[in-house]
Amino acid sequence: MWGTPRNQTGPRFVQDSDEVVAALERAFADADEAERPGLERALAVARGARLSEHDLRARWLAQRLAAVGFTGDRDSVAAVRALRKAEPALSLVEAVALLRPRKTP
Protein backbone atom coordinates (compact mmCIF):
# COMPACT_ATOMS: atom_id res chain seq x y z
CA MET A 1 0.00 0.00 0.00
CA TRP A 2 1.31 3.42 -0.94
CA GLY A 3 0.67 6.70 0.78
CA THR A 4 0.74 8.01 4.27
CA PRO A 5 -0.45 5.82 7.13
CA ARG A 6 -3.57 7.17 8.78
CA ASN A 7 -2.07 7.03 12.26
CA GLN A 8 1.00 9.01 11.24
CA THR A 9 1.34 12.24 13.16
CA GLY A 10 4.23 14.65 12.99
CA PRO A 11 5.37 16.95 15.73
CA ARG A 12 3.03 19.75 16.69
CA PHE A 13 4.64 23.07 17.49
CA VAL A 14 2.78 24.53 20.43
CA GLN A 15 3.72 27.36 22.66
CA ASP A 16 2.11 28.37 25.87
CA SER A 17 3.04 32.04 25.76
CA ASP A 18 -0.61 33.07 25.35
CA GLU A 19 -1.44 31.38 28.64
CA VAL A 20 1.57 32.96 30.34
CA VAL A 21 0.60 36.41 29.08
CA ALA A 22 -3.00 35.90 30.22
CA ALA A 23 -1.83 34.83 33.69
CA LEU A 24 0.44 37.86 33.97
CA GLU A 25 -2.39 40.15 32.85
CA ARG A 26 -4.64 38.71 35.57
CA ALA A 27 -1.91 39.14 38.16
CA PHE A 28 -1.30 42.71 36.99
CA ALA A 29 -5.00 43.53 37.27
CA ASP A 30 -5.05 42.33 40.89
CA ALA A 31 -1.63 43.70 41.89
CA ASP A 32 -0.99 46.50 44.32
CA GLU A 33 1.08 49.50 43.26
CA ALA A 34 4.34 48.01 44.55
CA GLU A 35 3.99 44.89 42.37
CA ARG A 36 2.82 46.63 39.18
CA PRO A 37 6.20 47.77 37.76
CA GLY A 38 7.66 44.26 37.95
CA LEU A 39 4.56 42.66 36.47
CA GLU A 40 4.42 45.30 33.74
CA ARG A 41 8.01 44.46 32.78
CA ALA A 42 7.25 40.72 32.90
CA LEU A 43 4.28 41.28 30.58
CA ALA A 44 6.45 43.18 28.10
CA VAL A 45 9.04 40.38 28.11
CA ALA A 46 6.41 37.65 27.70
CA ARG A 47 4.70 39.49 24.84
CA GLY A 48 8.05 39.99 23.11
CA ALA A 49 8.97 36.32 23.46
CA ARG A 50 6.05 35.02 21.40
CA LEU A 51 7.19 33.14 18.34
CA SER A 52 5.37 32.29 15.15
CA GLU A 53 4.84 28.65 14.20
CA HIS A 54 7.52 29.08 11.53
CA ASP A 55 10.04 30.32 14.11
CA LEU A 56 9.16 27.54 16.57
CA ARG A 57 9.60 24.96 13.82
CA ALA A 58 12.93 26.46 12.70
CA ARG A 59 14.26 26.50 16.27
CA TRP A 60 13.15 22.90 16.86
CA LEU A 61 14.81 21.74 13.63
CA ALA A 62 18.05 23.58 14.43
CA GLN A 63 18.14 22.00 17.91
CA ARG A 64 17.43 18.50 16.62
CA LEU A 65 20.05 18.72 13.84
CA ALA A 66 22.65 20.22 16.20
CA ALA A 67 22.01 17.40 18.68
CA VAL A 68 23.35 14.91 16.14
CA GLY A 69 26.12 17.21 14.90
CA PHE A 70 24.62 17.93 11.49
CA THR A 71 25.91 21.13 9.87
CA GLY A 72 25.31 20.44 6.19
CA ASP A 73 22.70 21.48 3.67
CA ARG A 74 19.17 21.10 5.01
CA ASP A 75 17.92 20.31 1.52
CA SER A 76 19.80 17.02 1.36
CA VAL A 77 19.35 13.34 2.01
CA ALA A 78 21.93 13.67 4.79
CA ALA A 79 19.69 16.21 6.55
CA VAL A 80 16.76 13.80 6.43
CA ARG A 81 18.95 11.03 7.85
CA ALA A 82 20.23 13.32 10.61
CA LEU A 83 16.73 14.44 11.55
CA ARG A 84 15.51 10.85 11.69
CA LYS A 85 18.54 9.94 13.79
CA ALA A 86 17.69 12.76 16.21
CA GLU A 87 13.98 11.86 16.20
CA PRO A 88 13.63 8.14 15.42
CA ALA A 89 9.83 8.26 15.67
CA LEU A 90 9.62 10.48 12.57
CA SER A 91 8.69 8.76 9.36
CA LEU A 92 10.56 9.51 6.17
CA VAL A 93 7.61 11.53 4.88
CA GLU A 94 7.42 13.57 8.09
CA ALA A 95 11.15 14.28 8.13
CA VAL A 96 11.14 15.46 4.51
CA ALA A 97 8.07 17.64 5.13
CA LEU A 98 9.66 19.24 8.19
CA LEU A 99 12.85 20.08 6.34
CA ARG A 100 11.04 21.63 3.38
CA PRO A 101 10.29 25.32 3.74
CA ARG A 102 6.59 25.93 4.17
CA LYS A 103 4.83 27.79 1.42
CA THR A 104 3.08 30.91 2.59
CA PRO A 105 -0.13 31.86 0.80
Tens digit of pLDDT for each residue in 10-35? 666 556 778 888 899 999 999 999 99
- Higher local confidence (pLDDT), 9 or 27: 27
- Round to whole Å and give the CA distance between 95 and 4: 13
Distance in angstroms (rounded) separating the CA atoms of residues 92 and 81: 9
83 and 61 Cβ atoms separated by less than 8 Å: yes
In order, the DSSP letters of 23-72 are HHHHHHHH--TTTHHHHHHHHHHHHHT---HHHHHHHHHHHHHHHTT--S
- Count of Cβ atoms closer than 10 Å to residue 83 Cβ: 22
Is residue 7 scored above 60 in pLDDT? no
